[in-house]
Structure 1
Amino acid sequence: MTGTAVSVCLLFLLSVCSACYISNCPIGGKRSIMDAPQRKCMSCGPGDRGRCFGPSICCGEGFGCLMGSPESARCAEENYLLTPCLVESCTTDQSCVAEEEGDEHGSLFEGSDSSDVILKLLRLAGLTSPHQIH
């Protein structure tokens, strides 16, 4: 092949390729995700009455928290969405705690924000290490 033909081929390949090779980057860059409006987490559980608290954790009023069950399998889809979701805590009214356990363990998550609750649930499910990197 001549030098001109090689140059034309390289220019054609270069024009076809895009500069961004990471397919899940947000449109405004990775720091723009902080400015994005938060959405509600996906519904899950029996009759879609619960909300996802992690990739395999589904919590809802009336049935508690399901971890690693077929009802919580839908929560794995949260990992593939580009925008974060807002997790509503169920610890203030103890709706995720069974009635007989409400008095004994009601203060387990008191004073914790929703991210601490999520980390504790993920540790219970064995999905993350107990050490948090800041």
Structure 2
Amino acid sequence: MAEPSLPLSFLCLLALSSACYIQNCPRGGKRALADTALRQCMPCGPGNRGNCFGPGICCGEELGCYLGTAETRRCSKEDYLPSPCQAGRQPCGAGGRCAAPGICCTAETCAMDTGCLDEGGDGAQEAAEEKNLTVLDGSAGDLLLKLMHLANRQQQQQGKHP
């Protein structure tokens, strides 16, 4: 009776130990993930001129940001890639990164952030002049944004009252 129980216990031990192996760990284990160099996130948007910030967010310097549109479909594939990526420039907001001039994005959402306007200083001004764009300081940008919202609200009210 001792002879059949020995191979049986060995098989049970083998079955239990093989179940402990995790198949989807990164190379080098979980701790090695922090040592890996971050790659640029997948390109997206018209002409692939933007980068994915989350599963439904695509932003670019010249594009602005697309949220939940056809341009962001490719970004949902980013979650399936094994290595981490980092999109954007300098950190901003609560765990976000500057995605476009004046816009700070996380993986879930985007928000206006004047800290993303001041990034280049004179370099941003020169780049804007080359592209025939206007760079506004924080207060002028906020005023312009409020005026645009006011004009949009007035247009919507006029559309309701024929």
TM bracket (short chain): 0.5 to 0.7
Answer 1 or 2: which has greater helix percent. 2
The answer to whether the Cα contact below 8 Å between 1:41 and 1:85 also exists between their aligned partners in 2 is: yes
- SS of 2:22's partner is coil
TM alignment of 1:1-134, pairs within 5 A: 3=5, 6-7=8-9, 10=12, 13=15, 17=18, 19-21=20-22, 23=24, 25-89=25-89, 96-97=100-101, 117-119=104-106, 122-124=108-110
List runs of 5+ in structure 2 lacking aligned partners: 92-97, 112-162
Q: Which amino acid aligns with 2:74?
A: R
Q: Which residue of 2 aligns with 1:130?
A: none
List runs of 5+ in structure 1 lacking aligned partners: 98-107, 110-116, 126-134
The answer to whether the Cα contact below 8 Å between 1:62 and 1:95 also exists between their aligned partners in 2 is: no
The answer to whether the Cα contact below 8 Å between 2:89 and 2:99 also exists between their aligned partners in 1 is: no
Instruction: Tell me the C-alpha RMSD between the 2 structures.
Output: 3.3
The answer to whether the Cα contact below 8 Å between 1:90 and 1:96 also exists between their aligned partners in 2 is: no
CA distance in 2 between partners of 1:60 and 1:90 (Å): 14
TM-score by length of 2: 0.48
* Count of residue pairs the alignment pairs up: 102
Aligned residues: percent identity? 40
CA distance in 1 between partners of 2:99 and 2:32 (Å): 34
- SS of 2:28's partner is coil
Displacement of 1:4 in angstroms is 6.6
* Structure 1 residues 9 and 31, CA gap change in structure 2 (3 angstroms): closer
TM-score by length of 1: 0.56
Whose radius of gyration is greater, 1 or 2? 2
Higher relative contact order (CA 8 A, sep 6+): 1
CA distance in 2 between partners of 1:90 and 1:19 (Å): 41
CA distance in 2 between partners of 1:88 and 1:57 (Å): 12
Runs of 4+ aligned structure 1 residues displaced above 4 Å come to 2-9, 11-15
CA distance in 2 between partners of 1:55 and 1:118 (Å): 12
